[in-house]
A and B are shown apart, each in its own frame.
Chain A
């Protein structure tokens, strides 16, 4: 009993910190609301999909910006995708960087784009770590609950 309670508190605190630091916004709450008996792992599924999608997009962006002549249209489309995905799950910081990225892309400033790409990658890996930790704690709590 004690363990579960502690884990629960840990979970709540951690989640709150994520929100405070701006990693997540209200949209993530919405996702959590959608999780019910018919859809027990909804959040995990969506976030996993987001990770897959984003990694793919980031790789493509890297490659695209390494080209001699950059195809800005394609880059723009990919950033748009990334922005959409991140806003769907409430990844606020990633989304913000995407917006800046997009502006540079519209102005066709390669240096700005490369900088933004680095930033996006950084934010993304931060978010990924945090979310993975969050899920681990959730799982532990779930296990503990089942055991007791």
Chain B
């Protein structure tokens, strides 16, 4: 029972010291008791504390220490044995626990320390993740912005809207101070400020395009940071200390329609760029981040594509508008042309009729006059009148022919004729005029030239006459020689028609006619114009010669219709010229030569004995007389169709039927009405079948009525074979039947 290691108390000063110790111990004990309470309190408060039993241990240690000090209080004075014992026990326990705790702490403190380091580590990691999260979120936002921007940009095809939207959205997304677009001008040497974000109407600032900074931007497809002081970034007059934020510029390729080749996407083939300049707010300390630059680049590309779409659309709409305009103009022109053609046709139709009527009167009466008794002078005069009026009639026909030729509606009248006779007639016609001018005209027909040929006699003669007439007209002196022979495919061809190979065959041959004159000649540059209608070579000598300029044009068309060719050779002015033409003619058949008589049509009086294949229509409601009429016509070789009523007749009648025989004394069928209807159905005269009335009424009234309704003839029943034969002959010759009996 040793006393504790307390110091022996002194009396007065010692009493004081003892008092101090007493108080200190008391407080120490108090502290020692309160610490575990605090610890328990705070541990209870915290959720996690892994070392509870360490705490318990520590708490016990503290409590015991406190108990020790507390018990110390009693040991200042005289104290009993029990106190000693308690003191001792307390101390022993304290010692034990402290040692245990000390030992324990050796294990625990490193652990606690490592916890701390792990905590620090985790905190760092959390901070890092936070940062990365922030980055990802920013990127996603950027992506969203890009998508939205793209959507906005692509949702319209109007280029202004596209650009405006781009600027607005970019401004919003990146919170820009200002955003501007510089477009290249038409000349391509300047950039003009076209769109800005904040300023309403940008004044037309222009900047030359070949600045180094601009070149730098244009040469790369990335967004490039540029200095705020360069001309493209100075968008409005700056005053004072104005520190603008960082500026970035990016190029926007302006793609054109022809940049889009099929196999070669518009990479670097475009030369035109626009410049987009973006400025961060000046008062913030923001800098351009990489993701923002990427956003700007992507947007610039999208804008380029959208602009190119808009440009393509604009162009196609412009092309469409142009086409529509052209369409309208063409339509108008077509209608005008149609009107002109119609006017011309009307005019020609009128002229045809109005001019031909008096002409025919003159010609007819002159020829009648020729038949009467005349003195030789009178006869000469009448012959001249006749010749002149024939020429005039020919001219009228020429004009009409030309218009019909141009319409393409002219068809050649092919038949067998005497070839030699044509030349002789031309010679006869031209000799008087030639002798007046003292020109010698010679005709040379090759011996192998066939006497008869198959072709359009009238038009061939017209052609020869025209060519020879021209030769005579344009020669003041000298001679005219006409040669005609069969072309054997020689090499002398018109240089202007190298594809023309006249080759004879079994069925046809090419007649070649050369008319050489020693007249004024034609200069080589005028030769192509000769065959153009209404033009004449403008030399004073020829202007007086008259003529409408139509002749050669018509001849050319006739010759073309006859599958031939016509041209003129001349060595120059004053050296005469040669007109050459070749036409295709057929060989006449052997049998025809003996059977048909080659008297010109207007002399023929004997009818043909039969009309092979002539299609006729017979309308009669009496079965017996129908059959008899059919037998009659069939005997003459016609192809007869029978109808029994007016309606059937109108149904069946067609262009192929050349004649319609109608029984008109039948009360049940109004033959007159049928005739009128037929006239209505076939408006063109040459398409309409001839209508002949068969009637038993011999009175004049019937005949007049028939003529009035447009019948071409009247025959009185009964009809004999001979009568029918002569009727048909007359009908087909004259297309009208004056005689009725």
A-B contact pairs, 27 of them (CB 8 A): A26-B718, A26-B720, A30-B718, A30-B721, A31-B628, A33-B721, A34-B628, A34-B631, A38-B634, A49-B624, A53-B624, A76-B667, A77-B667, A77-B668, A80-B665, A80-B666, A80-B667, A81-B621, A84-B624, A85-B623, A85-B624, A85-B625, A87-B696, A87-B718, A88-B625, A89-B624, A90-B718
Q: Contact at B631–A31, with CB atoms within 8 Å?
A: yes
> Given the complex, which residues of B lie within 8 Å of A36, measured CB to CB?
635
Q: Does B717 contact A (CB under 8 A)?
A: yes
Q: Which of A26, A39, A42, A85 contacts B622 (CB 8 A)?
A: A85
Q: Closest A residue to B631 by CB, please name it.
A: A34
> Given the complex, which residues of A lie within 8 Å of B631, measured CB to CB?
31, 34, 39, 42, 46
Q: Contact at A53–B623, with CB atoms within 8 Å?
A: yes
Write the nearest CB–CB distance from B472 to chain A, whole angstroms: 57
Q: Closest A residue to B637 by CB, please name it.
A: A38
Given the complex of chains A and B, what is the CA–CA distance between A30 and B635 in angstroms? 11
Q: Does B324 contact A (CB under 8 A)?
A: no
Q: Closest A residue to B625 by CB, please name it.
A: A88
Q: Contact at B635–A34, with CB atoms within 8 Å?
A: yes
Q: Contact at A49–B635, with CB atoms within 8 Å?
A: no
> Given the complex, which residues of B lie within 8 Å of A42, measured CB to CB?
631
Q: Does B340 contact A (CB under 8 A)?
A: no
Considering only residues 87-143 of chain A, those with a C-beta below 8 Å from chain B are 87-90
Q: Closest B residue to A42 by CB, please name it.
A: B631
Interface size grouping (class) on chain B: 20 to 34
* In the complex with contacts A30-B718, A34-B721, A39-B635, A88-B667 CB distance below 8 A: no
Considering only residues 705-740 of chain B, those with a C-beta below 8 Å from chain A are 717-721
Interface residues of B (CB under 8 A from A): 621-625, 627-629, 631-632, 634-635, 663, 665-668, 696, 717-721
* In the complex with contacts A30-B718, A39-B635, A46-B627 CB distance below 8 A: yes
> Given the complex, which residues of B lie within 8 Å of A19, measured CB to CB?
none
Write the nearest CB–CB distance from A25 to chain B, whole angstroms: 8
Write the nearest CB–CB distance from A53 to chain B, whole angstroms: 5
> Given the complex, which residues of B lie within 8 Å of A45, measured CB to CB?
627
Given the complex of chains A and B, what is the CA–CA distance between A77 and B665 in angstroms? 11
Interface residues of A (CB under 8 A from B): 26-27, 30-31, 33-34, 36, 38-39, 42, 45-46, 49-50, 53, 76-77, 80-81, 84-85, 87-90
Starting from the known contacts A26-B720, A36-B635, A87-B625, 7 additional A-B residue pairs (CB-CB under 8 Å) come to A31-B631, A34-B634, A53-B624, A84-B624, A84-B625, A87-B696, A89-B624
Write the nearest CB–CB distance from A49 to chain B, whole angstroms: 6
> Given the complex, which residues of B lie within 8 Å of A46, measured CB to CB?
624, 627-628, 631
Write the nearest CB–CB distance from A77 to chain B, whole angstroms: 6
Q: Closest B residue to A45 by CB, please name it.
A: B627
Given the complex of chains A and B, what is the CA–CA distance between A53 and B720 in angstroms? 23
Write the nearest CB–CB distance from B425 to chain A, whole angstroms: 43
Given the complex of chains A and B, what is the CA–CA distance between A88 and B622 in angstroms? 10
Q: Contact at A30–B720, with CB atoms within 8 Å?
A: yes
> Given the complex, which residues of B lie within 8 Å of A39, measured CB to CB?
631, 634-635
> Given the complex, which residues of A lie within 8 Å of B621, measured CB to CB?
81
> Given the complex, which residues of B lie within 8 Å of A85, measured CB to CB?
622-625
Q: Closest B residue to A76 by CB, please name it.
A: B667
> Given the complex, which residues of B lie within 8 Å of A81, measured CB to CB?
621-622
Q: Contact at B666–A49, with CB atoms within 8 Å?
A: no
Q: Contact at A89–B628, with CB atoms within 8 Å?
A: yes
Write the nearest CB–CB distance from B182 to chain A, whole angstroms: 100
> Given the complex, which residues of A lie within 8 Å of B668, measured CB to CB?
77
Given the complex of chains A and B, what is the CA–CA distance between A50 and B623 in angstroms? 8
Q: Closest A residue to B634 by CB, please name it.
A: A39
Given the complex of chains A and B, what is the CA–CA distance between A36 and B627 in angstroms? 15
Write the nearest CB–CB distance from B595 to chain A, whole angstroms: 21
User: 5 tightest A-B contacts by CB?
Assistant: A85-B624, A88-B625, A84-B622, A88-B628, A34-B631
* In the complex with contacts A27-B718, A33-B721, A50-B667 CB distance below 8 A: no
Q: Closest B residue to A81 by CB, please name it.
A: B622
Q: Contact at B632–A34, with CB atoms within 8 Å?
A: yes
Write the nearest CB–CB distance from A137 to chain B, whole angstroms: 22
Write the nearest CB–CB distance from B94 to chain A, whole angstroms: 164
Q: Closest B residue to A52 by CB, please name it.
A: B623
Q: Closest A residue to B719 by CB, please name it.
A: A30
Given the complex of chains A and B, what is the CA–CA distance between A9 and B668 in angstroms? 45
Write the nearest CB–CB distance from B507 to chain A, whole angstroms: 32
> Given the complex, which residues of B lie within 8 Å of A88, measured CB to CB?
622, 624-625, 627-629, 717-718
Given the complex of chains A and B, what is the CA–CA distance between A139 and B718 in angstroms? 28
Given the complex of chains A and B, what is the CA–CA distance between A27 and B721 in angstroms? 10
Q: Closest A residue to B636 by CB, please name it.
A: A34
Write the nearest CB–CB distance from A118 to chain B, whole angstroms: 22
Q: Closest B residue to A36 by CB, please name it.
A: B635
Given the complex of chains A and B, what is the CA–CA distance between A26 and B722 in angstroms? 13
> Given the complex, which residues of A lie within 8 Å of B627, measured CB to CB?
45-46, 49, 88
> Given the complex, which residues of B lie within 8 Å of A31, measured CB to CB?
628, 631
Q: Contact at A87–B667, with CB atoms within 8 Å?
A: no
Q: Which of A30, A50, A76 contacts B624 (CB 8 A)?
A: A50
Q: Closest A residue to B632 by CB, please name it.
A: A34
Given the complex of chains A and B, what is the CA–CA distance between A84 and B663 in angstroms? 10
Q: Contact at A87–B635, with CB atoms within 8 Å?
A: no
> Given the complex, which residues of A lie within 8 Å of B632, measured CB to CB?
30, 34
> Given the complex, which residues of B lie within 8 Å of A27, measured CB to CB?
718
> Given the complex, which residues of A lie within 8 Å of B717, measured CB to CB?
87-88
Q: Closest B residue to A47 by CB, please name it.
A: B624
Q: Contact at B623–A49, with CB atoms within 8 Å?
A: yes
> Given the complex, which residues of B lie within 8 Å of A89, measured CB to CB?
624, 628
Given the complex of chains A and B, what is the CA–CA distance between A26 and B624 in angstroms? 16
Given the complex of chains A and B, what is the CA–CA distance between A39 and B721 in angstroms? 15
Most buried by A among B625, B634, B663, B717: B625
Given the complex of chains A and B, what is the CA–CA distance between A81 and B634 in angstroms? 23
Write the nearest CB–CB distance from B666 to chain A, whole angstroms: 7
Write the nearest CB–CB distance from A40 to chain B, whole angstroms: 12
> Given the complex, which residues of B lie within 8 Å of A30, measured CB to CB?
632, 718-721
Most buried by A among B629, B635, B668: B635
